[in-house]
């Protein structure tokens, strides 16, 4: 026997369906726009491109590299920091401290990136420059840290630090929520076996939170990949592939490159920039797909 | 291996709420002692004071003494982590570590506190613990599969194997069969019968038949009303408790007239 469906149920389910479809439509529209506008650029010759580049691919490759490089550096800094803070908030701090600190972190997540960019130029870069000089002098034999050191401190490493500060709050907030959801039963199982607090975290909290930790990191990575203002403001851009962290010639990112060059572009130059945007779109897509695969293989679905 | 537990005038609190009051009793080694009583009378709370798991709840604390062969578990300077290695615990709901394999679950406690164990010893200990928990034959071919693929009864026996793998002096069980079917329940009751050769066992149960089947001594707890602390009403040989208890409340409870 079929029970008659209530009006509320029907409204809600069609509303949800419409919302879901809308997202797909918007995504498709963006993709179509990007592809259509990019096609001319893919075959563009020397005259359409900025000076010194012979094909579109030689132009976009360093940009993709710079984007990934900056985001990965940021993630390397941000993830351990975020996990540490999240664990402190969920399992070490007294409840009142945790609540106050949590509120501060949520606030940090809401600061616009222009502000972080300004902070990067005016405060962070001059502050870290002497450290960079020291680092290069002491550990210059490590290729990453080789000189000559930038005199302004405005290097890819500074950008990575700014990006890390930007994505730390979101990763922290997400992972803290996940850690708090660890089943009490599993935590007590560990403690009752004679685990110390850290061991309890290692055998009960972290395995439970792993899929969520990966998702949170990927969300942070996604934000870092697409970040425009902070990078555009801090770096004096050049389109190069360079792993050096402390030199004054640094790779720039796709988003920052578009923001800096779009105002002066016309004709096929615009198509070239849009095509780099398509590359960013694909990149973000791939990152998300990889993240999903990682989470899925762990038999997850827990956490986020 | 097994040790005698002596409680002296024990009070257990959650914040300012006193859940258990003035319990004094002695639990003999190599025996099974059952805690019975109506819901909310503090059986689980009291059980958890015996391995210092009570204080894991924020704001919870204990007054009085718990002596394990004469040494006070609550004396200053006693490390709760070491107490819990000597006093193992099995919970009401089976709680194997879901991301670990069956073997890793058995060895989880052994590998804590930076202890290392040779591969051959680990094999031997895994088999011995699983045999001890009557689970070996069912899982010996899938030791490397995740533990949450086991049935509820098997998971509970895995938790018992995990608890006895660290060779504790005492084994606490909080309603270990309440989530299980009658056959798994019988399997665990048989197991308790065997384990008491080596361990001091304390079991909380709501099942009167179970208490009378498995335990040597029984402690009956009761509360005067909601919000009042639980107290020990009577503690005696199980046979006496179920045939001619001295307190009227005990008789009413074991004969099913209330609670
Ligand atoms: N984590 C907690 N925080 C505050 N009060 C608690 C907590 N756990 C238990 N209590 C209270 O302590 C009293 C004793 O609870 P306890 O769980 O020990 O009872 P119990 O005898 O095990 O009951 P049951 O048979 O239902 O398991 C109850 O009044 C309960 O509400
Ligand atoms: Mg209970």
Chain B partners within 8 Å of A182 (Cβ):
none
Cα A187 to Cα A162, A247, B84: the distances in Å are 36, 47, 14
pLDDT(A302) > 80: no
Q: How many residues does chain A have?
A: 304
Q: How many other CB atoms are found less than 10 A from the CB of residue A265?
A: 15
Q: Which residues contact A24 (CB under 8 A, 6 or more apart)?
A: none
Domain with B26, as residue range(s), is 5-95+171-254
Q: Which pLDDT score, from 0 to 100, does residue B241 have? A: 93
Bridge partners (DSSP) of residue A144 are none
Give φ, ψ of B234 to 5 degrees: -155, 145
Decide if B45 is inside a domain. yes
Could you write out the DSSP letters of every residue in B31-72?
Answer: SEEEEE-STTSSHHHHHHHTTT-GGGSTTEEEEEEEEETTEE
Residue B177 belongs to a domain:
yes
Neighbouring-strand partners of residue A44 = none
Residue B160 lies in a domain: no
pLDDT in tens, B206-239: 999 999 999 999 999 999 888 899 999 999 999 9
Q: Is A146 exposed, middle or buried (0-12, 13-18, 19+ CB in 10 A)?
A: middle
C-alpha of residue B89 to centroid of ligand 2, in Å: 13
Could you tell me what percent of chain A has a pLDDT over 90?
39
Contact B53 A191 (CB under 8 A): yes
pLDDT of residue B94: 92
Structure tokens at A9: 């149920």
pLDDT, position B1 = 63
Structurally, at CATH architecture level, domain A50-299 sits in: Orthogonal Bundle (1.10)
Residue B59 CA: nearest ligand 1 atom is: 3
Measured in Å, residue A172 CA sits from the centre of ligand 1 at 34
Is B149 within the bounds of a domain? no
- Tell me if B14 CB under 6 Å of ligand 1: yes
**Would you list the domain boundaries of chain A?**
50-299
| Residue pair B232/B10 in contact by the 8 Å Cβ criterion | no
Confidence class of residue A303 from pLDDT cuts 50, 70 and 90? Answer: very low
**First and final CA of chain B: distance in angstroms?**
36
- Assess whether pLDDT exceeds 90 at residue B107: yes
**Chain B CA closest to residue A192:** B84
Is there a domain that residue B203 lies in? yes
B107 touches chain A (CB under 8 A): no
CB-count burial class (<10 Å; 0-12, 13-18, 19+) for A225: buried
Nearest CA to ligand 1 atom 9: B45
Which residues are registered as beta bridge partners of B237? B217
CA distances from A156 to A29, A141, A231 (A): 34, 19, 9
pLDDT band for A244, please (50, 70, 90 cuts): confident
What are the φ/ψ torsions at residue A244 (nearest 5 degrees)?
Answer: -65, 135
Average pLDDT over residues A65-70: 91
CB distance from A180 to chain B under 8 Å? no
Helix (H, G, I), strand (E, B) or coil at B162: helix
Reported confidence tier of residue A201, pLDDT bands at 50, 70, 90:
very high
In this complex, how many residue pairs, one in chain A and one in chain B, have their CB atoms less than 8 Å apart?
66
142-181 in chain B: CB under 8 A from chain A: 146, 159, 162-163, 166
A168 Cβ contact list (under 8 Å, min separation 6): A78, A81, A82, A85, A108, A220
- Answer yes or no: are the C-beta atoms of A269 and A258 closer than 8 Å: no
Structure tokens at B63: 């007054």
What is the predicted pLDDT for the residue at B258? Answer: 62
Contacts of B56 (CB under 8 A, 6+ apart): A188, A191, B48
Cα(B193)–Cα(B33) distance, integer angstroms = 12
Q: Which CATH number covers residue B215?
A: 3.40.50.300
Say if ligand 1 is within 6 A of residue B81 CB: no
Helix, strand or coil, per DSSP, at residue B99: coil
For chain B, the domain total comes to 1
One-letter-per-residue 3-state SS of A235-274: CCEECCCCCCCCCCCEECCHHHHHHHHHHHCCCHHHHHHH
SS3 label, residue A36: helix
Mean pLDDT estimate for chain A: 86
Predicted confidence (pLDDT) per residue in A206-220, tens digit: 999 988 898 899 888
Instruction: Give the pairing of strands B71-72 and B60-68.
Output: antiparallel
| A235 in Cβ contact with A250 (< 8 Å) | yes
- Euclidean distance between CA atoms A272 and B149, whole angstroms: 54
Q: Is residue B64 a part of any domain in this protein?
A: yes
Q: pLDDT: is B26 or B180 the higher one? A: B26
Q: What does the pLDDT look like over A13-29, one tens digit per residue?
A: 999 999 999 999 999 99
Nearest chain B CA: its distance from A204 CA (Å):
7
Residues in chain B closer than 8 A to A207 (CB atoms)? 97-100
Task: Examine residue B156 and state whether it is found in any structural domain, yes or no.
Answer: no
Tell me what pLDDT residue A6 has.
84
> Of A46, A114, A92, nearest to A259 (Cα)?
A114
pLDDT at A298: 57
Cis ω before A64 (30° cut-off from 0): no
Locus of tokens 């469906």: A5
- Average pLDDT estimate for A223-242: 82
pTM of the model: 0.83
Supply the DSSP symbol for B4. Answer: -
């Amino acid at each position: 026997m079929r029970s008659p469906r209530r009006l509320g149920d029907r409204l809600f389910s069609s509303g949800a369906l419409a919302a879901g479809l809308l997202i797909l439509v918007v995504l498709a529209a963006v993709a179509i726009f990007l592809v259509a506008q990019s096609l001319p650029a893919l075959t563009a010759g020397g005259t359409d491109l900025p000076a010194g580049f012979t094909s579109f691919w030689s132009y976009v490759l360093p940009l993709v590299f710079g984007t990934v490089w900056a985001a990965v550096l940021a993630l390397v800094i941000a993830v351990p920091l975020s996990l540490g803070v999240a664990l402190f908030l969920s399992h070490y701090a007294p409840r009142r401290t945790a609540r106050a600190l949590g509120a501060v972190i949520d606030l940090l997540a809401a600061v616009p990136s222009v502000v972080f960019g300004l902070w990067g130029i005016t405060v962070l870069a001059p502050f870290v420059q002497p450290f960079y000089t020291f680092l290069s002098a002491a550990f210059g034999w490590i290729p990453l840290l080789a000189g000559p050191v930038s005199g302004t401190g405005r290097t890819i490493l500074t950008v990575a630090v700014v990006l890390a500060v930007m994505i730390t709050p979101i990763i922290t907030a997400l992972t803290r929520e996940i850690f708090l959801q660890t089943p009490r039963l599993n935590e007590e199982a560990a403690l009752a076996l004679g685990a110390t607090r850290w061991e309890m975290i290692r055998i009960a909290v972290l395995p439970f939170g792993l899929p969520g930790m990966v998702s949170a990191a990927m969300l942070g990575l996604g934000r870092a990949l697409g970040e425009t203002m902070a990078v555009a403001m801090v770096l004096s851009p050049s389109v190069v592939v360079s792993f050096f962290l402390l030199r004054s010639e640094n790779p720039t990112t796709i988003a920052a490159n578009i923001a800096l060059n779009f105002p002066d572009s016309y004709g096929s130059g615009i198509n070239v920039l849009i095509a780099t945007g398509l590359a960013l779109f694909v990149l973000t897509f791939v990152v998300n797909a990889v993240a999903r695969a990682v989470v899925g293989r762990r038999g997850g679905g827990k956490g986020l | 291996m097994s040790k005698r537990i002596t409680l002296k005038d024990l009070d257990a609190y959650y914040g300012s709420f006193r859940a258990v009051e003035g319990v004094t009793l002695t639990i003999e080694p190599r025996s099974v002692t059952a805690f019975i009583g109506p819901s909310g009378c503090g059986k689980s709370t009291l059980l958890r004071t015996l391995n210092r798991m009570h204080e894991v709840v924020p704001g919870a604390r204990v007054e009085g003494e718990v002596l394990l062969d004469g040494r006070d578990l609550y004396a200053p300077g006693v490390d709760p982590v070491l107490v819990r290695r000597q006093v193992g615990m099995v919970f009401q709901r089976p709680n194997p570590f879901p991301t670990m394999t069956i073997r890793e679950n058995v060895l989880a406690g052994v590998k804590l506190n930076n202890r290392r164990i040779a591969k051959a010893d680990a094999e031997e200990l895994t088999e011995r613990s699983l045999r001890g928990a009557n689970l070996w034959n069912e899982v010996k071919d899938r030791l490397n599969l995740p533990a949450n693929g086991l049935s509820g009864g098997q998971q509970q026996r895995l938790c018992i194997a995990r608890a006895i793998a660290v060779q504790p002096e005492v084994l606490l069980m909080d309603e270990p069969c309440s989530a299980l079917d009658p056959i798994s329940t019988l399997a665990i009751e048989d197991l308790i019968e065997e384990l008491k050769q080596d361990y001091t066992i304390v079991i909380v149960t709501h099942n009167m038949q179970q208490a009378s089947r498995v335990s040597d001594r029984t402690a009956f707890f009761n509360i005067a009303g909601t919000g009042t602390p639980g107290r020990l009403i009577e503690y005696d040989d199980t046979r006496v408790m179920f045939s001619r208890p001295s307190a009227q409340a005990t008789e009413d409870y074991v004969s099913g007239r209330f609670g």
